[in-house]
Chains A and B, each alone.
Chain A
Amino acid sequence: MDESDAENVPLSILIADDSDSDRLILKALLKRLGHQVLDAANGHEAVLHFQAGAPDIVLLDALMPSMDGMEAARQIKRLAGERFVPVIFVTSLSEPEDLAGCLEAGGDGFLSKPYNRLMIKAKINAFNRMRLMHQALSHQRDLTHERNRQLLEEQHVARRVFDNVAHTGCLDAANIRYHASPLSIFSGDVLFASPRPAGGMLVFAGDFTGHGLPAAIGAMPIAESFYGMASKGFDGSDILREINQKLVRILPKDMFCCGVMVEVDFAYNQLNIWNGGLPDMWLIRSTMERSALPSRHLPLGILSADQFNAEMQAVRSRPGDRLLLMTDGVLECANGEGQLFGERGVRHAIESTCPDNHPFDVLMGAIKQFIGQQKFGDDLTLCCVEMVEEAGQTTLTEEIGLSTLAGPSQWHCDYEIRENTLGEFNPLPLLLHICMEVPGLRRKSGEIYTLLSELYNNALEHGVLRLPSDWKYTPDGFGRYYSERSERLNRVSGHYIRFSLQHDPRPSGGRLRVVCEDSGQGFDFHSHPVLQSTDMAQSGPRYGGRGLALLMRLAESIRFHGKGNRVEVVYDWFY
Chain B
Amino acid sequence: MPIQTRRSHDGQCLIIEIEGRFDFSTHQAFRDAYEHSGADVSNYIVDLSEATYLDSSALGMLLLLRDHAGGDNAKVAIENCNNDVRKILTISNFEQLFTIR
Q: A residues touching B (Cβ–Cβ < 8 Å)?
A: 207, 209-210, 253-256, 258, 276-279, 294-299, 302, 307, 328, 343
Q: How far is the CB of A278 from chain B (nearest CB, A)?
A: 8
Judge whether A256 and B93 touch: CB under 8 Å. no
> Does B67 make an interface contact (CB < 8 A)?
yes
- Residues from chain A with a CB closer than 8 A to the CB of B87 are 343
> Contact at A254–B63, with CB atoms within 8 Å?
yes
**Is A209 touching B94 in the complex (CB atoms < 8 A)?**
no
A-B contact pairs, 12 of them (CB 8 A): A209-B56, A210-B57, A254-B57, A254-B61, A254-B63, A254-B64, A256-B63, A277-B91, A295-B91, A295-B92, A296-B93, A299-B92
**Which partner residue on chain B sits nearest A340 by CB separation?**
B84
Chain A residues within 8 Å of B64, by CB: 253-254
Q: Given contacts A209-B56, A209-B60, A298-B97, are A253 and B91 in contact (CB under 8 A)? A: no
Supposing A253-B63, A256-B63 touch, asked if A277 and B93 sit within 8 A by C-beta, the answer is yes
B25: Cβ under 8 A from any A Cβ: no
| A-binding residues in B (CB < 8 A) | 56-57, 59-61, 63-64, 67, 72, 87, 91-94, 96-97
Is A298 a contact partner of B96 (Cβ separation < 8 A)?
yes
Chain A contact residues, majority secondary structure:
loop
Per the bound structure, the CA–CA distance linking A182 and B67 in Å amounts to: 36
Which residue from B60, B63, B72, B91 sits with its C-beta under 8 Å from A279?
A: B91
Say which residue of A210, A253, A277, A307 sits within 8 Å of B92 (CB atoms): A277
Distance of A248 from chain B, by nearest CB (Å): 11
A298, A302, A328: which has the most chain B beta carbons within 10 Å?
A302
Smallest CB gap from B27: residue in A: A254
Docked pose: A279 CA to B59 CA in angstroms? 15
Whether A209 contacts B67 in the complex (CB less than 8 A), given A277-B92, A298-B94, comes out as: no
What chain B residues lie within 8 Å of A279 (beta carbons)?
91
- Nearest chain B CB to A141 CB, angstrom units: 25
> Known pairs A253-B67, A256-B59, A298-B97. 14 more at Cβ < 8 A?
A209-B59, A209-B60, A210-B57, A253-B60, A254-B63, A254-B64, A255-B60, A277-B91, A295-B91, A295-B92, A295-B93, A296-B93, A298-B92, A298-B94
Q: With a CB–CB cut-off of 8 A, which chain B residues contact A328?
A: 56
Q: Assess the B60–A254 pair: CB atoms within 8 A.
A: yes
Q: How far is the CB of A49 from chain B (nearest CB, A)?
A: 53
CB neighbours of B96 from chain A (8 A): 298
Q: CA A210 – CA B27 in complex, angstroms?
A: 13
Cα–Cα, bound, A307→B96 (Å): 10
**In whole Å, how far is B54's beta carbon from the nearest beta carbon of chain A?**
12
